[in-house]
Structure 1
Amino acid sequence: MRHTFLIFLLSILGNITFAQEPQQLDTIYANEKMNLALFFPANIRQGIVGANNYVFSYNRERAQPLGLLKATKGKQSNLLVVTTDGKVYSYIIKYADSLKELNRFVSFSESIGHEHQRESLVIRDTLKQDSNLIVHKQYPKAFLEKSSKAMLKQPERKKIIKRKEGMSLAIKNLVYFEDLVFMQFEIKNESGIDFDIDYLKVGMVIGNEKRRASYQSVPLKPQYVYKMPDKTRHAETSRFVYVLPKFTLGDNEKLQLSLKELKGNRELILRRRL
């Protein structure tokens, strides 16, 4: 079945047509009382705001990855940043009396593309592994979407599961493709109460969390998420796909999933070897 899925992925990549799709931009909040620090993965070459009640400052004499955003009350606008490697980042910016974050570390995956790029691409992060950097690649968004959709139709090949208080979190399928990992999840709710999802975090852990001197955790940020719900209602099952950077687990390493409830205390932590 894995061989069939890989052939399907290759056929999608070979026959895809590129079309510009509407971008879903993140919103960043700022005010006049605090500096919002934005740390980009490369030095800033140019930063532009769309309204004069916002100010984005950065070092124009000596390029640095740090930019500072401030705002006074007024209508929302937008921020456009181009870094020295040609990556383009675009955000909606709004005024807020109080800020939930004062520092934001921007990842490669937040880029909407390259300044010379005419195709709609999803850009994945680099991942440090065994002291070597895997060079980040670009994959068409349509390819990741169609591949994820195809994966949901594949027979289940894994059953790694965590159950707690009527909730269950499971890995149902996992496929490596080039430097990506397609991972299918399932959330089942038999608790009698709807489960609003705050986040599902994926990472690699080594050591014992109680012995902090030897414990390490490396987050794996998904490069694309397909069909993840905002909530799983009682008696409902949700299935969705994360596309993650390729990873391998050492002898003492485990994969860890953390599913947290929004505005609630329920949390499922699955820690297992694959």
Structure 2
Amino acid sequence: MKKISVVVTVCLMLLTGHLFAQNTNIEITDQQTPMVMWISTNKTTNFVFPYAIKSVDKGSKEVLVQKANDVENVLQVKAAKPGFVETNLTVITSDGQLYSFTLKYADQPPVMNIRFDAKRVEKPAVLFSAKNDNEVAVNRTADIVATKERMINNRKDSKFSIAIRLGGLYIENDVFYFQIELENHSNINYTIDQLRFFIHDLKKSKRTASQEIELTPVQVVGNNKVINANSKQIVVVAIPKFTIPDQKELVIQLLEAQGGRHLLINLKNNQLVASKHL
């Protein structure tokens, strides 16, 4: 049996009163017809997508759209004037999916927060360049790593009620994914200056200068700006594959901005090569 189109589903839900709420989740599997949405001048409608927003196109200047501050997957939509002429909105997300909406005016929009679940399709509707396509794959994998249960328990450091822990280490398509757990058990926010990854000498002579090799992530997923007081969070750092030479180690260093609560984790090559494949 063919699945009913999204627009028909939403209309039926509106008629039966099931969608008249502040929040709703919508799973889109095959959007052949634009979804009808109502917006207002005095209320903001939030569209929450499963992946980062890459492109937005609105059909009229009478519609106001913006990405939420410091958030990549939330689009805020509002009417610039009451009773505007029906128009459209197109959104493309980093997983290559295209969302199409018909926008209409309503003094009291029936839905204020709309969350779209990930599409279950074999291939994306939009094809990015090779560079962007790789970014999409890395983002997808990082999202998966962020939800994994902790697999490493003995790689951690803590000081002054701040803790950093390597919860997991995975490899996929020649990219390492470090699952980093950050905790703040104090009443003071921890502003992150840097979350560094570098290789340096395991031991050095006083006469020999230590050489550090900085590793640059291709992607960081999660909040790597601040650890709020009495909270914990997971950050996933993706770094192209590498190995650690003899007599050297990998250092994961967390530095506090304008503070002294600095932490680090050390890894040797045998721990790196033991990374799990997703």
Normalised to the residue count of structure 2, the TM-score between the two structures is 0.48
What's the TM-score, normalizing by structure 1? 0.48
